[in-house]
Amino acid sequence: MKVLLIAPYMHFQESDERNKLKREDFLPSTALIYLAAALRKRGHEPILLDFNSAKTHRQADPLEYCNNKIVETISDESPGLVGLNCLFSGLFKTILDMSQTIKAKYPEVPIAIGGIHPTTYPREILRNIKEIDFIVSGEGEDQIVALANLIEDNDESKLPEIHSFAYRNRSGEVILNDRSGFIEDMDVLPMPAWDLIDFKDYEMDLSDYYNPKNFEMKNHIPLFTSRACPYACTFCDMHVVMGRKLRSRSPKRVVDELEYLNSERGMNYFSFNDDNFTFLKKHVLEICDEILKRKLNIQFDTPSGLNVNSLTEEVVAAMVEAGLISTTLAIEHGNDYIRNTVMKKNLPRKKIYEVVALFKKYKVLTGGFFIIGFPEETPETMEDQYIMMSELQLDRMGTLILIPFPGTEIFKQVVRDKLFVKDVDIDNLWTTPMSHARNEFVVKPYNMTIEELQEHRLRLEGLRYKFFKKGM
């Protein structure tokens, strides 16, 4: 059976006032190619529409282009199932629009959606959105295959057997199946279906990227070596989809994928996008060793925020030898109380400075994630943030405003103490996902005004690329 898998249009562009960095990131959807590989392994025919591409972004009206392309593809291919990836809550409006477009033209085609937002609000979505038929909670490979099988067999009696899944029965009642069954052995998954990707659709200007090997680079390829994160940071909601038990692919399978992309497809720049790439020392060292054994001439970065506690000189040196050129550290805050008590990072201040010094020693372009706007913020904690960022002198420092995502400890606290800056309809967050404009605060601190927060934010923003050294 044909299954149409869709990743919606996303727009991302960032630049600083001196135009040192200006990027539009066109990255193939790893979610789609993992699902596609699983479907193909079981005899189905996946069709991909990944709209985070240069072609989509060049359109005068990208959303209209996407909807027209979806209708055209369904007309030409007649899929038995459509799957939509709602990776971030902010994409839900686009997902809804696409679902309504599909059902208006092809009411008989079933639609399944997955991602953080559907996983958080399956009951509410299915009760209120008639265009969406199924919701996949969590990872998705097992569920999409099981759903495709029963649709092909025309056997809806097996719907209750699909774990981590939600649907409406014949009476219209929403049924939530048991949430269970994360994939324990990641090597049972086939290699992602990279052969379905035309990399020309994702080419971009990488001239501003740090490129010590002077490669000709046109693509930036995302990879995953593991899923989940065992930590319990109070602001993070990734466990909603992936759980907390870290599950790793074997180093051989990881480097098999790298070698295919490098040798067969000509790709030379990669990102390890794991939630916690370096958590298992043995895992990352073996990946690096395997890259060296196969003499892969590549460059890679780790943009998702490395856990600082997991980093030693042995690990840093191994990653650099294997091709690491750029990294981002999950530091999160310069105040010890906020970082360790409020956020529960358990990250000593001394360790942060040691690790930053290590990356500078090995000439790695180094960035850091910092978050502001916690309920416990004070002028003193914000000053500590400024001092640490000034002292570390990282090449780039992202100052993010706290978003209290549902499913996190911070969200419970903000709801309990009524700390939202604006009125928030807690009962209807499924329609208006928790988000904010770049410069807007969501949470009112106990002991600071929003105006004070904004003043401190502007100081921190001035450090964003102050120490950036492209040429190292």
> What's the pLDDT score for residue 470?
61
Q: What is the pLDDT of residues 36-71, one digit of tens each?
A: 999 999 999 999 999 989 889 889 999 899 999 999
Picking from 325, 396, 323, the residue whose alpha carbon sits closest to that of residue 23 is: 396
Closest residue by Cα to residue 141 from 129, 133, 132, 149: 149
Residue 16: what pLDDT?
39
pLDDT band per the 50, 70, 90 thresholds, residue 436: low
On whether both 129 and 236 belong to a single domain, the answer is no
> 399 vs 23, 389, 460, CA distance in Å?
18, 10, 7
Question: Do both 143 and 239 map to the same domain?
Answer: no
- pLDDT tens, residue by residue, 229-240: 999 999 999 888
Name 81's bridge partners: 3
CATH of the domain at 364: 3.80.30.20
Q: Are residues 381 and 439 in the same domain?
A: yes
pLDDT of residue 212: 94
Considering the domain architecture, whether residues 170 and 211 belong to the same structural domain is answered as: no
Report whether pLDDT(458) > 90: yes
Would residue 194 count as lying in a domain? no
What is the domain-level CATH number for residue 30?
A: 3.40.50.2300
Residues 89-144 have pLDDT tens digits of 888 999 999 999 999 999 999 999 999 999 999 999 999 999 999 999 999 999 99
Segment 231-252 shows an average pLDDT of 93
pLDDT 10s digits, 159-179: 999 999 999 999 999 999 998
Please indicate, yes or no, whether residues 369 and 438 belong to a single structural domain of this protein. yes
If asked whether residues 152 and 262 sit together in one domain, one would say no
User: What's the rounded mean pLDDT across residues 408-421?
Assistant: 96
Question: Nearest-CA neighbor of 352 among 299, 319, 391?
Answer: 391
End residue of a domain, out of 137, 155, 176: 176
- State the chain's maximal CA–CA distance in angstroms: 65
Please indicate, yes or no, whether residues 149 and 223 belong to a single structural domain of this protein: no
Domain shared by 412 and 288, yes or no:
yes
Query: Whole-angstrom Cα distance, residue 319 to residue 331?
Result: 19
In the prediction, which pLDDT does 11 show?
A: 59
Full domain range(s) for residue 27: 2-176
**Is position 468 within any domain?**
no
Instruction: Examine residue 195 and state whether it is found in any structural domain, yes or no.
Output: no
- Rounded Cα distance between 463 and 36, Å, is 42
Mean per-residue pLDDT, 285-294: 98
Spatial distance between the Cα atoms of 97 and 249, rounded to a whole number of angstroms: 36
Lowest mean pLDDT among 247-251, 255-259, 427-431, 453-457: 427-431
Shared-domain flag, residues 146 and 289: no
Specify if 424 maps to a domain: yes
193 is a domain residue: no
Q: Are residues 137 and 281 in the same domain?
A: no
Answer whether residue 187 is part of any domain.
no
Element (H, E) at 50: strand 45-50
Average pLDDT, the chain: 93
pTM above 0.85, yes or no: yes
User: What pLDDT was estimated at residue 437?
Assistant: 60
Structure tokens at 260: 């295919």
CA 84: distance to chain centroid?
16
The answer on 393 and 329 residing in a single domain is yes
Mean pLDDT across 187-203? 96
How many structural domains does the chain have?
A: 2
Residue 183 lies in a domain: no
Q: Determine the average pLDDT of the residues in 422-444.
A: 83
Residue 17 confidence (pLDDT) above 70 = no
User: Residues with Cβ < 8 Å from 209, sequence gap 6 or more?
Assistant: 217, 220, 269, 326
Which of 176, 198, 226 finishes a domain? 176
* Average pLDDT value for residue range 381-388: 98
- Examine the pLDDT at 472 and tell me if it is beyond 60: no
CA 174 to CA 144: how far, in whole Å?
18
Alpha carbon 366 to its chain's center? 20
- Asked whether the beta carbons of 370 and 385 are under 8 A apart, the reply is yes
According to the model, what pLDDT value does residue 10 have? 78
pLDDT of res. 438? 63
When pLDDT is averaged across residues 7-12 and rounded to a whole number, the result is: 76
- What are residue 23's phi and psi, to 5 degrees? -135, 145
Question: Does any domain span residue 200?
Answer: no
- Give percent of the chain above pLDDT 90: 83
pLDDT at position 12, please?
45
Q: CB of 137 within 8 A of CB of 180?
A: no
Q: Is the pLDDT of residue 306 over 90?
A: yes
Instruction: Give the pLDDT confidence score for residue 439 in this predicted structure.
Output: 74
**25 with 153, same domain?**
yes
Identify the H or E element spanning 68: helix 62-77
